[in-house]
Amino acid sequence: MSPRRTETGGRIDRLRTIRFTFDGAAYTGHAGDTLASALLASGVTLFGRSFKYHRPRGLLSAGVEEPNALVTVLRGEVREPNIPATMVEIYDGLVAVSQNRTPSLAWDIGAINQLGGKILSAGFYYKTFMGPVIGPLKGTRFWMFCEHFIRRAAGLGKAGAAPDPARYERMNAFCDVLVVGSGPAGLMAAKAAADQGARVILADLEAHFGGSANWSGETIDGMPAADWAQRMAVQLAGNDNVRLLPRTTVWGYYDGNTLAALERVTDHKEAAAKGEPRQRYWAIRAGTVILATGSFERPLVFPGNDRPGVMLAHAAERYAVEYGVLPGQRIALFTNNDSAYRSAVALKKAGAAIVAIIDVRGDISNEMRRLASDAEAELLASHAVIATEGGKAVTGLKVQRFDAMSGALTGDERSIHADSLLMSGGWSPTIHLASQAGAKAGWDPARQAFLPPKPTQRWIGAGAFTGSFSTAEAIAEGRAAGLQAAGGAASSAPLPVVETLPGDPDPAPVFEIKAKGKSFVDFQHDVTAEDVRLAHREGFVSVEHLKRYTTLGMATDQGKNSNVPGLAIMAEALGKPIPEVGTTRFRPPYTAVSIGSLAAERFGDLKPERLTPMHDWHIANGARMYSAGLWYRPMIYGLPGETVEQAYVREARATRESAGIVDVSTLGKIAVQGPDAAEFLDRVYTNMFSTLAVGKARYGLMLREDGLAFDDGTTWRLGEQEFLMTTTTANAGKVMQHLEYFLDVIWPELKVTVTSVTDEWAGAAIGGPNARAILASCVTGTAVDNATLPFMGIVHGRIAGVPVMICRLSFSGEMAFEVYSGAGYGTRVWEALIEAGKPFGLVTYGLEALGTMRIEKGHVTGAEIDGRTTARDLHLDWMLSKKKPFIGSAMMDREGLIAPDRLELVGLIALDNRALNGGGHIVEELDEANPHDSLGHITACCYSPALGKYIALALVKGGKARHGTRAFVSDPLRNRFGPVEIVSNHFYDPDGSRMHG
């Protein structure tokens, strides 16, 4: 016989049929089914293959802890691997496939690994595959050869390469009380807190609120517990101060009572609505958290406990009561505690035959004996299951008399015919979040379970989470927690009345039945009790060594099923109590969370784009854009058919011959204002700024505290107490933080404000022999002649009717001007300049030409100020004032920073007239086969139209002393070798006659 749907019962909608496929076969289920319940109802028992031995596996559980029934859900090309079938709500058109099997789930060649048996014991791979010490397979080769096959055999599901079209979102939430878990404890807590007026969030990882109430068969306040739960949820939903989050797993408890949760918004739907995210990642800052996360039932460890058809007792109860599915017709139960008896009664009620209850305990209470007889089950006290029978499904089991104290098996084996074996090894509170929050769990010998630690953050526990396994306790603790969290007084009002079957919460301390055969502790990873004992034998006895050596608890269920049984077996081997083996500290996430949900709104949109005011003009006029940090800047304005080199050479040449214009809006700009602004700049820059006249600009250099070069730029004095500082594009943010730090922390007495005004101004640099004439033809309100606007002078005027500020300074080495206007007028001014430049053949140029002209001039940028160079290395020591201290002045002369073998800035000319490459190295002697003894490297290079040569800037040991000597470029990565001449970095117009005009 096989599992089947019951005639009645369950919380599914039997009027709605859902169609889906599993491994290509069509199935139907009902609205409210999970993939697990729907397949089980269709008679499917084989759901997956284990990791190592590829053993056939069925459903162990009905919930989030499922280790065996992992599937891949397909949405078109997009794959979602390793999802427990128990957590997939079915929808029309759902496509799911099984994993880790070739060619099919039923016939998997990987099962050959089972023949490896004892060779493939825990950690076997550390002891072999090392290969020969000599010969072609020495070193790592033999291992890598073996590894090739091991990697292909390992792994569970397959991920896809097709980009996920779904939307993910992050939501920031704040509340007074976050309730995690919506069983009776959570519902009571949320209600009590909400009634006090607190802002409450109630989250539950299941689709429906109610937790155990949905399948316990109990009555609360005279109604079925499930109805009571539903009524509570409806009441809560009606409160403005309550947010209900179903299908939401709170997976992380971080510092400051910040919790991370994942809401599965549309995973259960055929399609998302417009703009609706697939999953929503909630970052919740909670005043108080109420942990009402319930508990997990533990498996028992005995031979054959992994055969499909062996299931946790409560899971079977859930399938029957919640989904109307019986896992078998003839059911046996194997238990060390009372809770399985309730399961037996429930399954009997749902229509199954209960063939036996096998209980390891000898003294069984009269109440349990009565339940067994209600279930019409044969009660085998002081017995244990020693084997299961069948192939890919249970057909029967063997039992033997068992002594719970000694673990001894005696007497004759007896076979019992059954198509389903349910087990209950006691219950473990779900303490993961509390453990993440920072403290160590404590072992409770009565409950045989780890109970939550004392809170290290602001949380309160309630219900089974605290080890209070009865619904009545859960209800009382839930209300008390809710009141406490919301700051309300304890209530003496009557609590809802619970009617339930009897049961003692304390199990017998029996975790394993030692009999012949493989007894699984970690189902997914195929860790057996024997593996745990092997780890003990080899000294891997602490809990972390046990986990790491055997991989126990490292599977996708994260040890939710295996943790305590594994510890118990190790404890027995060591002859120590369980807590002395150690407790696992749980870490986020509680259950695996999609990477998409964590990337959230940044999936597909990692970084914003920073655009200059003239961005659209550049695009419309054929610029090829270059991504520089977050900015986009024109690289070249190429003409049809031009290479990059042809384009920049044309742009640079035209600039030097007539005029060129470039967008410099990205330069960092910082307003430095206040009575102490000049004093502040004197401290920040290596050179003087207090002596700068109003209406003038000066080139400045900053060092870091450690004396190395930091940033450079011009700073303009716009008023007695007002400066406009410019920085390099890349360092704008760093310089701003540097200034703020000194003003706030070191020199709070200085009256200076610094404000980022990078975005306030559009900047255009126009340079070349005709630049002044172009400006003169379009600027009103000021002259731009040498007297009015000398080198480093500033004037104010108008272009195209809008105010502009013009500073005569030069990066290109030509007569040049930077024209600044309000950013909203940037394109207008730019276009006016272009128009004015037409008679002069003005070209627009990009970063490549900008770079070319700066290399020709020997100016430094970030490639040379790379955080490792000093002012001296860059021949900027003339800027180091001796009249005043400045940031870095005390540290800049330490021995390592003035050593003679430091890399220094030089120029290079390629003597073979071939292009050089950035990052090529410089050597004295060329050795193409075995390059060695690098002297330094090229920082920037170009074809210089001004010199007609391939040139470069480089940082080279010896620096100036090598001027005029020959060396070689050695660039094995690009196979570029050849002679160069080392020259001064000032290639072009070294005395600056062109820019001074």
Partner 1 sequence: MAEPHLPERQSPLEPEYNPGSHGNFEHGVDVILSETRLGSILQLAAWPGEEKRLIEVIRKVTGLALPDGAGGGVNNGARAVFGFAPGKFTVVDEAEGLAQAFAGLITPAIGTLTDLSHGRTAIRIAGPKAEWVMAKFFAIDFALPAFPLGAGRSTNHHDIFAQIQRSGADQFDIYVFRSFARSFWKALCHASEEVGYEVQ
Partner 2 sequence: MLITCPYCGPRDVIEFTYQGDGNRERPQPASQDLDAWNAYVYDRLNPAGDHNEIWQHSGGCRAHLRVVRNTITHEILSTAFARGGHKSADNKAESRS
Partner 3 sequence: MAEYSAFSLLKNALAGNKDWKPAWRKPDPKASYDVIVIGGGGHGLSTAYYLAKEHGITNVAVLEKGWLGSGNVGRNTTAVRSNYLLPQNTRFYEHSMKLWENLSHDLNYNVMFSQRGCLNLAHTPAQLDDYARRGNAMRHLGVDAELMSVDQIKRLVPALDVSGSARFPVLGGLMQPRAGTARHDAVAWGYARGADRRGVDIIENCEVTGFLRDGGRITGVSTTRGEIRAKKVALAVAGSTGHVMQLAGISHMPIESHVLQAFVSESLKPIVDTVLTFGMGHFYISQSDKGGLVYGGDLDGYNSYAQRGSLPIVDEVMSEMLALFPGLARVRMLRSWGGLCDMTMDGSPIVTTGPLPGMYLNCGWCYGGFKATPASGWCFAYTIAKDEPHEFNAPFTLDRFYRGLIIDDKGQGANPRLH
Q: Under DSSP, is residue 534 helix (H, G, I), strand (E, B) or coil?
A: helix
Is 574 one of the binding residues for partner 3 (CB under 8 A)?
A: no
Comparing CB distances to partner 3, the nearer of 152 and 838 is 152
Quote the Cα angle for 633-988-951, to 5°.
70
Is 195 one of the binding residues for partner 3 (CB under 8 A)?
A: no
Residue with tokens 């003839």: 330
Is 364 one of the binding residues for partner 1 (CB under 8 A)?
A: no
Whether 204 contacts 212, CB under 8 Å: no
Whether 600 contacts 278, CB under 8 Å: no
Q: Under DSSP, is residue 416 helix (H, G, I), strand (E, B) or coil?
A: strand
Distance (Å, rounded) from C-alpha 663 to C-alpha 252? 47
411, 973, 992, 996: which one binds partner 3 (CB under 8 A): 973
Structure-block tokens of residue 526: 């195929």
Rounded alpha-carbon distances, angstroms, from residue 811 to 267, 613, 759 = 57, 21, 21
Measured in Å, how far apart are the chain's first and last C-alpha atoms?
A: 100
- The letter for the amino acid at 888 is G
User: What is the phi/psi pair of residue 219, to 5°?
Assistant: -120, 145
Binding mask 613-652 for partner 3 (x = CB under 8 A): -------------xxx------------------------
Long-range contacts of 785-791 (CB under 8 A, 24+ apart): 786/997, 789/817, 791/995, 791/996, 791/997
The stretch near partner 3 (CB under 8 A) out of 20-28, 287-295, 459-467, 971-979 is 971-979
Q: Is the dihedral of CA 970, 976, 981, 982 positive or negative?
A: negative
Rounded alpha-carbon distances, angstroms, from residue 764 to 621, 808, 975 = 16, 12, 39
Is 933 one of the binding residues for partner 3 (CB under 8 A)?
A: yes
117, 781, 790, 885: which one binds partner 3 (CB under 8 A): 117
Distance (Å, rounded) from C-alpha 445 to C-alpha 134? 56
Quote the Cα angle for 559-565-571, to 5°.
120
19, 458, 537, 966: which one binds partner 3 (CB under 8 A): 537
Strands 242-245 and 427-429: unpaired
Whether 991 contacts 925, CB under 8 Å: no
Residue with tokens 């006090």: 196
Is 594 one of the binding residues for partner 3 (CB under 8 A)?
A: yes
Least CB distance from residue 887 to partner 2, whole Å?
Answer: 8
Binding site for partner 2 (CB under 8 A): 254-258, 283, 285, 438, 456, 683, 705-706, 737, 740-741, 744-746, 748, 885-886, 889-891, 894
For residue 456, the partner it binds in partner 1, partner 3, partner 2, none, with Cβ less than 5 to 8 A by kind, is partner 2
Is 671 one of the binding residues for partner 1 (CB under 8 A)?
A: yes
Residue with tokens 């039945």: 513
Residue 667's contacts (CB-CB under 8 Å, 6 or more residues apart) are 713, 726, 727, 728, 729, 732, 758, 763
Whether 52 contacts 77, CB under 8 Å: no
Structure-block tokens of residue 552: 């126990």
For residue 567, the partner it binds in partner 2, partner 1, partner 3, none, with Cβ less than 5 to 8 A by kind, is none
Rounded alpha-carbon distances, angstroms, from residue 781 to 227, 784, 818 = 82, 10, 17
For residue 760, the partner it binds in partner 1, partner 3, partner 2, none, with Cβ less than 5 to 8 A by kind, is partner 1
For residue 145, the partner it binds in partner 1, partner 3, partner 2, none, with Cβ less than 5 to 8 A by kind, is none
State which of positions 605-664 bind partner 1 (CB under 8 A).
Answer: 605, 607-613, 616, 630-631
Binding mask 732-771 for partner 1 (x = CB under 8 A): -------------------x-x-xxxxxxxx---------
Whether 686 contacts 871, CB under 8 Å: yes
Binding mask 131-170 for partner 1 (x = CB under 8 A): --------------------------------------xx
For residue 845, the partner it binds in partner 3, partner 2, partner 1, none, with Cβ less than 5 to 8 A by kind, is none
The stretch near partner 3 (CB under 8 A) out of 182-190, 293-301, 413-421, 583-591 is 583-591
Binding mask 688-727 for partner 1 (x = CB under 8 A): ---------------------------------x------
Distance (Å, rounded) from C-alpha 529 to C-alpha 521? 6
Rounded alpha-carbon distances, angstroms, from residue 386 to 458, 512, 849 = 46, 10, 82
State which of positions 437-456 bind partner 3 (CB under 8 A).
Answer: 438
For residue 937, the partner it binds in partner 3, partner 1, partner 2, none, with Cβ less than 5 to 8 A by kind, is partner 3
Comparing CB distances to partner 1, the nearer of 282 and 637 is 282
State which of positions 60-89 bind partner 3 (CB under 8 A).
Answer: 78-82
Binding mask 280-299 for partner 3 (x = CB under 8 A): ---x----------------
Is 163 one of the binding residues for partner 3 (CB under 8 A)?
A: yes
Least CB distance from residue 890 to partner 2, whole Å?
Answer: 5
**Biggest alpha carbon–alpha carbon distance for the chain:** 115
Directed axis angle between helix 184-195 and helix 225-237, to 10°? 30
Is 605 one of the binding residues for partner 3 (CB under 8 A)?
A: yes
Whether 282 contacts 245, CB under 8 Å: yes
Least CB distance from residue 522 to partner 3, whole Å?
Answer: 13
Is 970 one of the binding residues for partner 3 (CB under 8 A)?
A: yes
Least CB distance from residue 163 to partner 3, whole Å?
Answer: 4
Comparing CB distances to partner 2, the nearer of 126 and 741 is 741
Number of residues that bind partner 1 (CB under 8 A): 53
State which of positions 780-809 bind partner 1 (CB under 8 A).
Answer: 800-803
For residue 612, the partner it binds in partner 2, partner 3, partner 1, none, with Cβ less than 5 to 8 A by kind, is partner 1
Binding site for partner 1 (CB under 8 A): 169-174, 199, 273-277, 283, 285, 601-602, 605, 607-613, 616, 630-631, 671, 673-675, 721, 751, 753, 755-762, 800-803, 822-828
